Structures are given as structure tokens and as C-alpha cells.
Chains A and B, each alone.
Chain A
């Protein structure tokens, strides 16, 4: 029997470059990306809380940056990442308990997640601006 060759070309399981992009697959990828974005986004929350704990002048500086156009854009993206990741989590709960694996349910869940995340994010910001006004 020939000894096993570690460097021999072994068959690999198909990876993402093999598959045609599908919505469920893109939503899975974006779930991971939004998770990573939220991970680094905690810096924004910590800066804001530490500024609030430091005093009025530190807080005013951070509020000015977060209130700028760029700041609001980043926070809008942060909100969308949070909602998208949360709805993706709900989808995974449904799949974890073994429901929603048929084609129609799968498509409905991913479409609801995408549309829901955008609608909820816009709604949150509308309410936020109404409250602030």
C-alpha cells in the first residue's frame, strides 16, 4: 500500500466561489459581516458612555462628532447592522428548532429579514429625529 501523501491534490468540499449567489447565502454572509461590524461598533458605544461619564464638555464633543453628517451616516449603518443581525438571529432560532427549512419558508424568512431590517432601521431613525426635534 502506498504511503499517504500529505501534499497530494485532495478533493475539497465546494466553497462559495462554486455556488451561484443566492439570497439566503448572501444573508448568511452579511449576518457574519454585520456581526463583525457590531463588534467594532461597540467602540462607538463605549466612547459615548465614557464621555457621558466624564462630564458635559467631553459629552458635547462626542455629540458634535456623532451629530455630524458622517457621524449620523455611521450610526445609521450601525443601526442597520444591529437590526439585520438581530433579525438574522431570529431566523437562526427558527432554523435551530428545526422549522422553516422548506424552500418557500426559507425564501420568506430571508426576504422578511432583509426588508424588515431596512424598514425597522428607517422607522427607528424617523422616531429618533421626531423625539430629538
Chain B
């Protein structure tokens, strides 16, 4: 028998309270706006040469919006995949390893994209 107070203590099974719930919706809003920019930029670059693509991506406004999109998307996808893992992986060790791999993957993708965008912007 657990009292409502006992269930709230420790912030529930994920031990993080509603932080992820809110962050997922916050980044969903930013993703919605930024993905419109992202898709528009990619459409405009369709079939372009390397020189034209890097010239467009190194435009400061486009570069900043692309960087914001990458950061917002990778934060959103990390906590989204965390929910999927927590739903389907129940054994403690595999769950822990999957959650670690998830964080590593999200950071690797985010940082690689940010690095590439900065390198394109600042030149070789």
C-alpha cells in the first residue's frame, strides 16, 4: 500500500518528474518551426553543386537556423527514444546500456552535424 505522497517522492519511476514531458513539448514547438526552415533549405539546395551548397549553408542566418534545428532535433529525439526504451526494455542492465547508447548516439549525431555546419561556415 503506497500513499500518494510516497508515490510522488523520488519523482516516479523515471526519477525525473515532469522535466522530460515539458522538454519534449518545448522542443516539439521549436522542431515544428525549424523543420519548416530545414525542409525549405534542402529543397532550395536540390541538385546544387558543392560550391553552391556550402555557399548557402555558410550564410549566417541559414547556418544559425540549421544549428538551432540540429540541437533542437537531437535533444527531442534523445528523450523520445528514452521513452521507447523505458517502455520496452524492462531488465535493468539492458535498459541502462540502451539508455547510455541512446545518449551517446544523440550527442554524436548532434555534435557531428554542428561541427560540419561550423566548418562549412568558417571555411577550411
Which A residues form the contact surface with B (CB < 8 A)? 32, 35-36, 38-39, 42-43, 45-46, 49-50, 52-53, 55-56, 59-60, 79, 82, 86, 89-90, 92-93, 96, 124, 127-129, 131-133
Contacts and interface: CB of A to CB of B under 8 A. Distances in A.
Most buried by A among B31, B74, B113: B113
Contacts, number: 79
B28 A93 contact: yes
Nearest to B54: A52
B80 A35 contact: yes
Interface of B: 25, 28-29, 31-32, 35, 39, 42-44, 46-47, 50-51, 53-54, 57, 70, 73-74, 77, 80-81, 84, 105, 109, 112-113, 115-117, 119-120, 124
Query: What DSSP secondary structure best describes chain A's contact surface?
Result: helix
B104 to A, nearest CB: 13
A67 B73 CA distance: 24
Contact of A59 (B53, B70, B115): B53
A36 B84 contact: yes
Contacts of A35: 77, 80-81, 84
